């Protein structure tokens, strides 16, 4: 059978791209869904908050495919799907250490843990800095100033009627 070249071809509509991306959390083994365009740092922080117990927290997200070099997402990178065979997954610091044999890199990563991500709600962290001598001196100085100002205003208000009478006698 010959096809009629003048007849319009019917194209099968391509399936719409999903409005979300799936990230496999290697620490918990769960797959989390995020809206396409979510910042990678936000996704990592959210997944780390949901981890329980002594599970290793994720450091970043990367796209992986067999036989290809992984693509790492920075904290402000937007999550996106790279197509067939590519999967997004979290990477933990122990994963980095096993892949990179550089001892200097390991020391640097242990000294600079990932910080909090802005815009991610979470419990407030308590700061356990010791009270320094300078801090105590500042507090004592503030109290002395408060009491000094209070004394000056009290003396001024106590002597105000006499001062008004003095001014009336002059005028």
Both tokens assigned to 157: 């208000």
Whether 47 and 60 have beta carbons less than 8 Å apart is answered as no
What integer pLDDT is reported at residue 104 of this predicted model?
A: 46
| Interval 88-99: pLDDT, tens | 888 887 766 665
Task: Report d(CA 25, CA 48) in Å as an integer.
Answer: 9
Q: Strand 87-92 vs strand 20-24: parallel, antiparallel, or unpaired?
A: parallel
Is 55's pLDDT higher than 80? Answer: no
Give me the mean pLDDT over the 26-35 stretch.
86
Residue 85 has pLDDT above 90, yes or no: no
pLDDT band of residue 106 (cuts 50, 70, 90) is: very low
| pLDDT, tens digit (0-9, with 9 covering 90-100), for 57-70 | 888 899 898 888 98
> What mean pLDDT value characterizes the chain?
77
Q: Are 100 and 59 in contact (CB under 8 A)?
A: no
């Amino acid at each position: 059978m010959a096809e009629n070249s003048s007849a319009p071809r019917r194209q099968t509509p391509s399936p719409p791209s999903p409005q979300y991306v799936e990230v496999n959390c290697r620490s918990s083994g769960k797959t989390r869904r995020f809206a396409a365009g979510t910042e990678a740092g936000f996704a990592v922080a959210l997944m780390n908050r949901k981890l329980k117990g002594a599970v290793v927290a994720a450091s970043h997200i990367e796209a992986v495919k067999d036989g290809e070099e992984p693509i790492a997402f920075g904290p402000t990178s937007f999550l996106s799907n790279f197509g067939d065979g590519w999967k997004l997954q979290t990477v933990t610091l122990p994963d980095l250490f096993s892949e990179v044999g550089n001892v200097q890199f390991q020391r640097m990563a242990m000294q600079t843990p990932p910080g909090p991500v802005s815009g991610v709600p979470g419990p407030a962290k308590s700061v356990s800095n010791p009270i320094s001598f300078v801090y105590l001196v500042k507090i004592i100085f503030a109290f002395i100033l408060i009491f000094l100002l209070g004394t000056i205003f009290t003396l001024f208000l106590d002597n105000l009627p006499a001062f008004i009478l003095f001014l009336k006698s002059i005028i």
